Amino acid sequence: MLDERDRKLLALLQEDAGAPVAALAEKVNLSLSACARRIQRLEESGHIAGRVALLDRDRMGVPTTVFALIKTAHHSDEWIALFSRAIADIPEVVEAHRLTGNYDYILKVVLPRVEHYDVVYKRIVRKVELFDVSASISMEVLKSGTRLPVEHAE
Protein backbone atom coordinates (compact mmCIF):
# COMPACT_ATOMS: atom_id res chain seq x y z
CA MET A 1 0.00 0.00 0.00
CA LEU A 2 1.36 3.41 -0.93
CA ASP A 3 1.35 6.36 1.43
CA GLU A 4 1.53 10.10 0.68
CA ARG A 5 5.35 10.10 0.71
CA ASP A 6 5.41 7.33 -1.89
CA ARG A 7 2.98 9.27 -4.07
CA LYS A 8 5.01 12.45 -3.68
CA LEU A 9 8.19 10.55 -4.63
CA LEU A 10 6.47 9.14 -7.70
CA ALA A 11 5.31 12.61 -8.73
CA LEU A 12 8.80 14.07 -8.21
CA LEU A 13 10.47 11.25 -10.16
CA GLN A 14 8.08 11.85 -13.05
CA GLU A 15 9.25 15.47 -13.14
CA ASP A 16 12.95 14.51 -13.06
CA ALA A 17 13.99 10.87 -12.80
CA GLY A 18 17.61 11.99 -12.55
CA ALA A 19 17.07 14.10 -9.44
CA PRO A 20 19.59 13.32 -6.69
CA VAL A 21 18.17 11.16 -3.91
CA ALA A 22 19.28 13.81 -1.40
CA ALA A 23 17.07 16.41 -3.08
CA LEU A 24 14.13 14.01 -3.21
CA ALA A 25 14.63 13.04 0.45
CA GLU A 26 14.52 16.67 1.48
CA LYS A 27 11.30 17.31 -0.48
CA VAL A 28 9.50 14.35 1.14
CA ASN A 29 11.04 14.88 4.59
CA LEU A 30 12.95 11.58 4.77
CA SER A 31 16.53 10.63 5.48
CA LEU A 32 18.70 9.83 2.48
CA SER A 33 18.75 6.09 3.24
CA ALA A 34 14.98 5.90 3.93
CA CYS A 35 14.27 7.71 0.67
CA ALA A 36 16.60 5.42 -1.30
CA ARG A 37 14.89 2.35 0.23
CA ARG A 38 11.45 3.68 -0.73
CA ILE A 39 12.55 4.30 -4.32
CA GLN A 40 14.00 0.79 -4.49
CA ARG A 41 10.74 -0.64 -3.09
CA LEU A 42 8.72 1.33 -5.67
CA GLU A 43 10.94 -0.09 -8.44
CA GLU A 44 10.67 -3.65 -7.09
CA SER A 45 6.88 -3.39 -6.76
CA GLY A 46 6.60 -2.23 -10.38
CA HIS A 47 5.24 1.23 -9.59
CA ILE A 48 8.36 2.56 -11.28
CA ALA A 49 8.56 0.64 -14.55
CA GLY A 50 11.81 2.28 -15.68
CA ARG A 51 13.65 5.55 -15.97
CA VAL A 52 14.11 7.26 -19.32
CA ALA A 53 15.41 10.44 -20.90
CA LEU A 54 12.79 12.46 -22.76
CA LEU A 55 14.19 13.66 -26.05
CA ASP A 56 13.27 16.86 -27.87
CA ARG A 57 11.36 15.84 -31.01
CA ASP A 58 12.45 18.87 -33.04
CA ARG A 59 16.12 18.26 -32.27
CA MET A 60 15.64 14.56 -33.01
CA GLY A 61 14.24 15.45 -36.44
CA VAL A 62 10.71 14.07 -35.96
CA PRO A 63 8.48 17.11 -35.34
CA THR A 64 5.46 15.83 -37.31
CA THR A 65 2.78 13.62 -35.74
CA VAL A 66 0.34 11.52 -37.74
CA PHE A 67 -2.41 9.41 -36.21
CA ALA A 68 -3.24 6.39 -38.36
CA LEU A 69 -6.69 4.89 -37.78
CA ILE A 70 -6.85 1.28 -38.92
CA LYS A 71 -9.70 -1.08 -39.71
CA THR A 72 -9.09 -4.75 -40.28
CA ALA A 73 -11.23 -7.64 -41.41
CA HIS A 74 -9.15 -9.99 -39.24
CA HIS A 75 -9.46 -10.39 -35.49
CA SER A 76 -7.74 -13.69 -34.78
CA ASP A 77 -4.97 -14.01 -32.22
CA GLU A 78 -2.59 -14.90 -35.04
CA TRP A 79 -3.39 -11.74 -37.02
CA ILE A 80 -3.04 -9.57 -33.90
CA ALA A 81 0.36 -11.13 -33.20
CA LEU A 82 1.43 -10.55 -36.82
CA PHE A 83 0.28 -6.92 -36.68
CA SER A 84 2.06 -6.38 -33.35
CA ARG A 85 5.32 -7.74 -34.79
CA ALA A 86 4.94 -5.62 -37.92
CA ILE A 87 4.64 -2.34 -36.03
CA ALA A 88 7.20 -3.29 -33.34
CA ASP A 89 9.99 -3.00 -35.92
CA ILE A 90 9.02 0.53 -37.00
CA PRO A 91 10.62 3.14 -34.70
CA GLU A 92 8.39 5.93 -36.02
CA VAL A 93 5.36 4.14 -34.51
CA VAL A 94 5.65 5.32 -30.92
CA GLU A 95 2.21 4.22 -29.68
CA ALA A 96 -0.39 1.69 -30.78
CA HIS A 97 -3.80 1.08 -29.24
CA ARG A 98 -6.61 -1.38 -29.93
CA LEU A 99 -9.92 0.49 -29.91
CA THR A 100 -13.63 0.11 -29.54
CA GLY A 101 -15.86 1.88 -32.03
CA ASN A 102 -15.49 2.45 -35.77
CA TYR A 103 -11.76 1.72 -35.98
CA ASP A 104 -9.82 -1.24 -34.64
CA TYR A 105 -6.43 0.39 -33.98
CA ILE A 106 -4.82 3.80 -33.73
CA LEU A 107 -1.12 4.40 -34.24
CA LYS A 108 0.78 7.49 -33.18
CA VAL A 109 3.52 7.99 -35.74
CA VAL A 110 6.31 10.59 -35.43
CA LEU A 111 7.96 11.72 -38.65
CA PRO A 112 10.58 14.11 -40.04
CA ARG A 113 7.91 15.46 -42.41
CA VAL A 114 4.43 14.38 -43.47
CA GLU A 115 5.67 12.85 -46.75
CA HIS A 116 7.58 10.24 -44.75
CA TYR A 117 4.27 8.74 -43.64
CA ASP A 118 4.10 6.88 -46.97
CA VAL A 119 7.33 5.05 -46.10
CA VAL A 120 5.88 3.91 -42.78
CA TYR A 121 2.54 3.00 -44.35
CA LYS A 122 4.25 0.80 -46.97
CA ARG A 123 6.32 -0.95 -44.31
CA ILE A 124 3.14 -1.93 -42.49
CA VAL A 125 1.06 -3.04 -45.48
CA ARG A 126 3.92 -5.18 -46.83
CA LYS A 127 3.77 -7.24 -43.65
CA VAL A 128 0.07 -7.39 -42.78
CA GLU A 129 -3.26 -7.07 -44.59
CA LEU A 130 -5.42 -4.11 -43.60
CA PHE A 131 -8.99 -3.30 -44.59
CA ASP A 132 -8.80 0.50 -44.31
CA VAL A 133 -6.30 3.09 -43.09
CA SER A 134 -7.14 6.73 -42.47
CA ALA A 135 -4.42 9.16 -41.40
CA SER A 136 -4.79 12.49 -39.66
CA ILE A 137 -1.99 15.02 -39.27
CA SER A 138 -1.67 16.75 -35.91
CA MET A 139 -1.80 20.49 -36.51
CA GLU A 140 -1.01 21.56 -32.95
CA VAL A 141 -0.20 19.87 -29.65
CA LEU A 142 -2.54 21.14 -26.95
CA LYS A 143 -1.35 18.78 -24.23
CA SER A 144 1.39 16.20 -24.21
CA GLY A 145 3.25 14.41 -21.50
CA THR A 146 4.27 11.23 -19.81
CA ARG A 147 3.21 12.02 -16.24
CA LEU A 148 0.54 9.83 -14.70
CA PRO A 149 -1.76 10.89 -11.86
CA VAL A 150 -0.36 9.45 -8.62
CA GLU A 151 -3.43 9.80 -6.41
CA HIS A 152 -5.04 6.59 -7.71
CA ALA A 153 -2.01 4.34 -7.06
CA GLU A 154 -2.36 1.63 -4.43
pLDDT in tens, 51-107: 999 999 999 999 999 999 999 999 999 999 999 999 999 999 999 999 999 999 999
C-alpha–C-alpha distance, residues 6 and 1, integer Å: 9
Q: Domain 4-44 carries which CATH code? A: 1.10.10.10
Q: For domain 64-137, give its CATH number from 3.40.50.300, 3.30.300.30, 3.90.79.10, 3.30.70.920.
A: 3.30.70.920
Task: Give yes or no for residue 42 having a pLDDT over 90.
Answer: yes
Q: What is the pTM of this model?
A: 0.89
CB-based contacts of 131, cutoff 8 Å, min separation 6: 71, 72, 73
Using 50, 70 and 90 to split pLDDT, how confident is the model at 130? Answer: very high
Question: How open is the CA angle 96-51-95, to the nearest 5 degrees?
Answer: 5
Q: How confident is the model over 118-129, as pLDDT tens digits?
A: 999 999 999 999
Sketch the domain layout of the chain as residue ranges: 4-44, 64-137
Task: Give yes or no for residue 154 having a pLDDT over 90.
Answer: no
What is the CB neighbour count within 10 angstroms for residue 94? 13
DSSP letters spanning 57-110 = TTTTT--EEEEEEEE-S--SHHHHHHHHHHHHT-TTEEEEEE-SSS-SEEEEEE
C-alpha–C-alpha distance, residues 150 and 147, integer Å: 9
